Structure 1
Amino acid sequence: MNKLFFLPLLLLLGSITGFTTAPAVPTSKAAKKGAETIKWLTIEEAAAKMKGQPKKVFIDVYTDWCGWCKKMDKSTFTDPAVAAYINKHYYAVKFNAESKAPVTLNGHTYKYNPEYKAHELAVALLQGQMSFPSTVYLNEKMEMLSPVPGYMNAATISKILSFFGEDNHKKMSWQEYEKKH
């Protein structure tokens, strides 16, 4: 995969403070039947867990008004296989791109920018390509692997999750991986 695509933009995420957005609560039929659901964390909680047990980080960047974000919440993120895979291989974080709460990373505070109508951290995570929903993948050192824009069904996101979750991105390009799977 193109090295420029994997900018170490989020090295700063190692020392996270100040993020308090509450994770979403799943409401699907799968969740009600006792199937495994994604264990959503705040970015603070993920950073704290990284100290004891490093894992990759999966970030769902969403907005409250985004219909496709809501569809992913109700279908993709409630798929039991997707939830089980994310819980095993990642710390899952939800981040509202329009959050007003400041986030301090390594001494720099990211805030909501009213002119841009987005949180500065969302702009950094999405590398300025504001598209919702988007998912962001970080490695075990909280360094950027890749932002991935757009709605994804369970089958599509499962491929991407395993591409990064099993370090296939270190062995081959996405195009090669996609041909094999």
Structure 2
Amino acid sequence: MATATIQWISIEEAAAKMKQEPRKVLVDVYTDWCGWCKKMDKATYSAPQIISFINKNFYPVKLDAESKKPITLNGHTYQYNDEYRSHELAVALLQGQMSYPSTVYLNEKMEMLSPVPGYMDAKDFSKIMRYFGEDHYKSLSWQEHEKKN
């Protein structure tokens, strides 16, 4: 049996799929030179419980923060921005706090839930992805959720 992996797609693909089946979106914002991003790919995004939960509950998107390719979402085209040396969509998703890796959680309408900066191991990542993926954020603060788990 082949090892399961996260079925990463582009943000445009996620937006198209939302029209048929709304789901939350998890965006992994990374750069090619980021060592912690590579470590998170190897250690966190390869954990079986992370893979199955993400594939089932989210549209997982990988976004290269330094991509030069224009991305059009909801009629708006995001470009690479020389001033930031980053893609405008990455700047928007990270609210100008350019830190890699960052995981951005969006709701079923592609509205911001929260950007979560920094490397996380599978244990810590699992808590956060479940907080958003299982809708705990609607009734509990992160501090309350963390105490329960």
Aligned match for 2:90, one of 118, 122, 135? 122
Contact 2:12 2:72 in 1 (8 A): no
CA distance, structure 2, for counterparts of residue 116 and residue 47 of structure 1: 25
- 1:68 corresponding residue in structure 2: 36
| TM-score, with structure 1 as normaliser | 0.80
- 2:134 corresponding residue in structure 1: 166
- 1:98 corresponding residue in structure 2: 66
Deviation (angstroms), 1:75: 1.1
Aligned residue for 1:40, secondary structure, equals coil
Structure 1 unaligned regions, length at least 5: 1-32
Aligned residue for 1:136, secondary structure, equals strand
- 2:101 corresponding residue in structure 1: 133
RMSD over equivalenced CA pairs, Å: 1.0
Mapping of residues 21-170 of structure 1, within 5 Å? 34-170=2-138
CA distance, structure 2, for counterparts of residue 116 and residue 139 of structure 1: 26
Segments of 4+ in structure 1 off by > 6 A? Answer: none
Post-superposition CA distance 1:133-166 (Å, at most 9, x none): 0000000111100000000010011000110001
Indicate the percent of aligned positions where both proteins have the same amino acid: 69
Contact 2:15 2:73 in 1 (8 A): no
User: How many equivalent residue pairs?
Assistant: 149
